[in-house]
A and B are shown apart, each in its own frame.
Chain A
Amino acid sequence: MELLYYPGCTLKTSAVNLEESAFAVAEALGHSMIEMEEWNCCGVSASLTEDDLMHHLAPLRNLVHAEDQGMDRIVTLCDMCSNTLKQTDYRVREREDDLKTLNDFMDQENDYRMTVSVQHFLEFLRDDVGWKTLKKKVVNPLKGVRIMPYYGCMLLRPREVAIDDAEEPRIMADLIKALGAEVVDNPYKIECCGSYKTIEEKEMTSRRAKTISTYAVERDADLIMLSCPLCKYNIDQRGKEAELLFDGYSQIPVMYYTQLLAIALGLEGDWGFGAHAVDPTPLLEEKGVLPISEGST
């Protein structure tokens, strides 16, 4: 199946490893991610005030461009892009007047006809591929690896655009099981990582990373699995910086679900671990899911 892919800014810069691993996984499952011919920034944060329609324009233009390409679905990798596009889609479907105002304003674009749905790649794996099919494709099960799923906010809230239950999500846990790994549950799995506060509130974000990771470590988790590039930066990078703030604290590795998938599916590649503050390679080698590389001790 051909999937119309909306990247967003971060997938082309600091989260290239998420994009590359997702593309490889899609291909291994018999699908291809086709990047949209024309896309623009989604705006990242959905407009939340009643009178502010201007900030719905950027996401709406992306939905229009998908319609222009004759597609009825956009697949996203970034949680915040997915959330923002879905919130705009939801708003114009609920409020006819808002859609008319926005359509009238866009004189260079076609009108949005509401024929597009936005799907996060995790939803695609669950709803279109299915865990049973995925499990059959696993050639390198992640046996003995204890993984804490971290959902953050944008996959689960607000409820109108959630991909799973807001308090007890299971989509990532089901994926971890399909890969042959063990799930480590954690109440912090649905709590905010600090989001964009990482710029102005670095230490606060480091404390968030420590709180989330410590709970996982106390339950013998080996690593944290997540999907959002900003959550990844905050827990991985700010978590690493937390080592300087808290005596004896050591950040455990943080990985994208697509990187773990690529390894479990036996795909060749390095999956961009060099861009991680905490390189998961030694752990994966120790667990026997990655071959011992030359130079490792």
Chain B
Amino acid sequence: MATETEGGCQDSADKHIVVSGKLIDELEGLCEEDVFGCYQCGTCAAGCPFMDEMDLTVDEVLRYVILDKKEVLESKTIWLCASCFACAERCPRDINITKIMEALRQIVLRQNIDETDLECLTDEEKRSIPQMAFVSLFRKNIG
């Protein structure tokens, strides 16, 4: 259940993401990458700069999609991905994993579930952090 903190800032821990069909079918139309081409070499995970912070490794995300494990949509990993394209550049199977991460985020966002609550941003943050970071955050975390 969502918990409310000061200033109306919602911490949406419980997201209620509903995917009735197969995850792979949801991905079609959002990205044309061949997820099944992944042979789990782990190059993506080895080169990901945020690996230490993630709950699922990048190759695990792809495996979860293949196995239709929908809990991948609740993973921290898809939101920690900053679209740096390092995995996409290095994948020996030429799978653009960055696009798959974006598609997974979009599945959540298109259910009107935002990852970021604007109310949680402080005035100090708005004043000091470069504008480009906010535009990028809004594009990535708000549907």
B89 neighbours in A (Cβ, 8 Å): 156-159, 166-167
Say if the beta carbon of A5 comes within 8 Å of chain B: no
Contact A80 B136 (CB under 8 A): yes
Q: A14-B131, A157-B88 are in contact. Are A49 and B103 (CB under 8 A)?
A: yes
Distance from B124 Cβ to chain A, minimum over Cβ atoms (Å)? 11
Q: A159-B89, A191-B49 are in contact. Are A233 and B29 (CB under 8 A)?
A: no
Of B31, B84, B129, B133, which contacts A153 at CB under 8 A? B84
Distance from A34 Cβ to chain B, minimum over Cβ atoms (Å)? 22
B29 neighbours in A (Cβ, 8 Å): 50-51
Contact B131 A49 (CB under 8 A): no
| Contact-residue bracket for chain A | 35 or more
Residue from the set B31, B53, B129, B140 with the largest chain A CB neighbour count within 10 Å: B129
A13 neighbours in B (Cβ, 8 Å): 130-131
Q: A44-B136, A44-B139 are in contact. Are A15 and B130 (CB under 8 A)?
A: yes
| Contact-residue bracket for chain B | 35 or more
Of A51, A166, A192, A237, which contacts B82 at CB under 8 A? A192
Question: Chain A interface secondary structure, helix, strand, loop or mixed?
Answer: loop
Contact B133 A45 (CB under 8 A): no
A199 neighbours in B (Cβ, 8 Å): 121, 125, 129, 133-134, 137
Contact B135 A157 (CB under 8 A): no
Say if the beta carbon of B50 comes within 8 Å of chain A: yes
Residues of B that sit less than 8 Å from A by CB: 29-32, 49-50, 53, 80, 82-86, 88-89, 96, 98-99, 102-103, 106, 116, 121, 125, 128-137, 139-140
Residues of A that sit less than 8 Å from B by CB: 8-10, 13-15, 41, 43-45, 48-52, 55, 78, 80-81, 153, 156-159, 166-167, 190-192, 194-201, 204, 208, 229-230, 233, 237
